[in-house]
Amino acid sequence: MANVTGYRRSFGYKKSYFGSDTCGHDVKAFGDTTGKYFWWDASEDTFSVSGKMALDYASASTSGSASVESMVVSTTLTGTGGVGGRARFALAANAALGGWVNALKAHTTFGASGSCSGMGSSFCAEMTLSAGTTAGTYAPLEAELVLGETASTGTATSFLYGNVTGHATGIGTFNHNGFLFELGAGCTIDTDHVVQAAAVSDIDSTHAIRIRVAGTTLYIPAHTSKTFAQ
């Protein structure tokens, strides 16, 4: 193994070192395309990639308790009054783009023999509260829409949008059996609960939206008129 002590660089089998603890070195590697590289900036403690970064991982784990995780991003905040703490996926659009634009996409595909014995999803937002969360507003999922003074809402703008695509037969199956949303484990129907059994007479509606709470199918009345006029 060669050791260039003057620059604190060590190159050897399986391991190479650049700098030492508290005395780092910048490392930059270029691609074949102009302006494409990865760069470790020692003074900023930042790793940057100019170009496409791909992560390919496969697992044959059969454990029903240990989650397979191909990548872990961990942040710890200990400063009073600090904000953020997130990983950011930023997309800037300044052109008339095509049929879809996303800053972040989560995609799960179940093959012909693929299934899940519990809950399968493409995106999971999970929050743990403690005795210290006595003030503040908390939600595992937040949607924020920002509009400038001259902003337009286009053809239609909403906080949440969902559609069903694929084969016509499969779409029909969802329309007959699916739900707008479901409240599952921990949610029960009872007096003064989030969902309560409270019968009210003389409500006129033209439509019903199907949901499910704690395994019970419920229907939310809806009307084509905001006054619910008969």
Single-letter residue type at 195: V
- Pair of tokens at residue 131: 């005795």
95-149 residue pLDDT tens: 999 999 999 999 999 999 999 999 999 999 999 999 999 999 999 999 999 999 9
Whether residue 197 is predicted with pLDDT greater than 90 in this model: the reply is no
Phi, psi of 52 (to 5 degrees): -90, 135
Spatial distance between the Cα atoms of 41 and 47, rounded to a whole number of angstroms: 6
Q: 169: burial class by Cβ within 10 Å (0-12, 13-18, 19+)? A: exposed
pLDDT digits (tens, 9 = 90+) for 17-62: 888 888 888 889 999 999 999 888 989 888 898 888 888 889 898 9
Residue 20: enclosing H or E segment and its boundaries?
strand 16-20
Q: Tokens for 169, please give them.
A: 């037969």
pLDDT, tens digit, for every residue of 59-101?
A: 898 988 888 888 888 899 999 999 999 889 999 999 999 999 9
Q: Is the pLDDT of residue 8 over 70?
A: no
Of 77, 72, 104, 108, the C-alpha closest to 88 is 104
Average pLDDT of the chain is 87
Q: How far lies 47's CA from each of 37, 38, 103, 204, in Å?
A: 11, 7, 20, 60
Q: Which residue, among 72, 42, 41, 30, has the nearest Cα to 55 in the 3D structure?
A: 72
HSE-CB for 83 with a 13 A CA cutoff: 0
Query: 227 or 128: which carries more pLDDT confidence?
Result: 128
Enter the tokens of residue 72.
């872990």
